[in-house]
């Protein structure tokens, strides 16, 4: 769930707001982050996806709700990036799973039909 959706879900789940409330989200965000060195504008940008939230920020925010930071998709991406960095062979495995699941087949076939060789995971990782 993207950060905005996850945060809205947590706010409702924990009784901060209901779908009918007129409470200012900025005030709620300020209250949630009062002990963290983040301005309300910076938080707004992270919540809206204009900035990538730091893992530490998501950990503190999730702890406010007594939840695991994996509730945020951005945190799960962070953990996946760490796993890929720690074990490059895992990237190959993940690539194969994605192909098997038909998530990348369409893109690969589009490239192949244009007469270009489809790059493997190692080539893609080296270029990034």
pLDDT tens for 56-67 read 888 988 998 899
Residue 24 to residue 57: CA distance in whole angstroms: 21
15 and 66 in a single domain? The answer is yes
Q: Which domain holds residue 104?
A: 88-127
53 and 108 in a single domain? The answer is no
108 and 60 in a single domain? The answer is no
Mean pLDDT for 89-110 is 74
46 and 96 in a single domain? The answer is no
pLDDT tens for 49-92 read 888 888 988 898 899 889 999 999 999 999 999 998 999 888 88
3-state helix, strand, coil in the chain (%, to 5): 65, 0, 35
Report if residue 103 sits inside a domain: yes
Report if residue 36 sits inside a domain: yes
Residue 56 to residue 76: CA distance in whole angstroms: 13
Report if residue 38 sits inside a domain: yes
Classify residue 46 by burial, with Cβ atoms within 10 Å: 0-12, 13-18, 19+: buried
Total domains present in the chain:
2
Report if residue 83 sits inside a domain: no
46 and 99 in a single domain? The answer is no
Structure tokens at 110: 């589009």
65 and 102 in a single domain? The answer is no
**pTM of the complete model:** 0.66
Classify residue 69 by burial, with Cβ atoms within 10 Å: 0-12, 13-18, 19+: buried
73 and 92 in a single domain? The answer is no
104: Cβ–Cβ under 8 A, 6 or more apart, which residues?
95, 98
């Amino acid at each position: 769930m993207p950060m905005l959706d996850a945060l809205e879900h947590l706010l409702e789940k924990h009784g901060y707001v209901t779908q009918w409330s007129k409470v200012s989200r900025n005030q709620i965000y300020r209250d949630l982050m009062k002990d963290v060195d983040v301005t309300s504008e910076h938080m707004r940008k992270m919540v809206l996806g204009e900035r990538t939230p730091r893992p530490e920020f998501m950990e503190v925010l999730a702890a406010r709700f007594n939840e695991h930071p994996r509730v945020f998709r951005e945190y799960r991406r962070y953990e996946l990036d760490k796993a890929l960095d720690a074990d490059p062979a895992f990237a190959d495995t993940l690539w194969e799973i994605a192909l098997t699941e038909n998530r990348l087949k369409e893109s690969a076939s589009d490239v192949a039909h244009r007469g270009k060789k489809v790059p493997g995971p190692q080539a893609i990782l080296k270029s990034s």
